[in-house]
């Protein structure tokens, strides 16, 4: 029998059996370990986007957890999920605001929702942001509609306090 050395970063240990997956992500969501910001902006890089209100032609989500930031950027034809390398405590929502984008949040993501029927909504940046927000996300079809619904939700419900938002 010949011993095969495992490559650095290989998915499976020697023998081919992968370690069992844990459902730790469910516990992290239940403990409120994540906060979500929704950013709005965008230019009309596609002709049909010119039908939408300027400044509200696109939306994306930035999620903060104990390990840093995850940016969920729904683009035309693909979904970009990035984990930017930033210094601890970096104010990513403030960075987006200084870049001229409108940012709302922080929001605590809701529990996953599984209804009797699948959601009947087209794949769009709004649908992805609503999925990130989870159960209780307001209904909207356009980025401007999502902005208005989230803004109203922020004024009527308790929101997660964040000292970085107090002076912006």
For residue 102, what are the β-bridge partners?
40
CA distance linking residue 83 with residue 95, whole number of Å: 16
Is-contact 13 6, C-beta < 8 A?
A: yes
- Three-class DSSP category at 68: strand
- pLDDT at position 116, please? 78
Q: What is the mean pLDDT of each run of 10 residues along the chain (168 residues)?
A: 44 47 48 87 69 80 95 89 94 96 93 73 88 90 92 73 51
- pLDDT at position 162, please? 54
- pLDDT at position 42, please? 78
Indicate the length of the chain as a whole number.
168
- Three-class DSSP category at 22: coil
């Amino acid at each position: 029998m010949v011993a095969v050395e495992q490559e650095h970063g290989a998915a499976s240990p020697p023998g081919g059996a992968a370690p069992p997956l844990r459902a730790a992500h469910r516990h992290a969501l239940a403990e409120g370990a994540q906060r979500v910001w929704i950013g709005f902006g965008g230019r009309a890089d596609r002709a049909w986007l010119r039908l939408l209100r300027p400044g509200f032609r696109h939306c994306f989500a930035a999620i903060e957890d104990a390990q840093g930031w995850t940016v969920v950027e729904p683009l035309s034809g693909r979904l970009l999920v990035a984990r930017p390398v930033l210094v601890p405590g970096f104010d990513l929502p403030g960075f987006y605001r200084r870049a001229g984008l409108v940012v709302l949040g922080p929001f605590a993501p809701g529990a996953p929702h599984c209804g009797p029927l699948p959601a009947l909504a087209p794949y769009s940046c709004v649908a992805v942001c609503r999925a990130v927000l989870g159960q209780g996300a307001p209904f909207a079809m356009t980025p401007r509609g999502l902005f208005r619904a989230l803004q109203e939700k922020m004024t009527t419900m308790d929101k997660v306090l964040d000292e970085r938002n107090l002076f912006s």
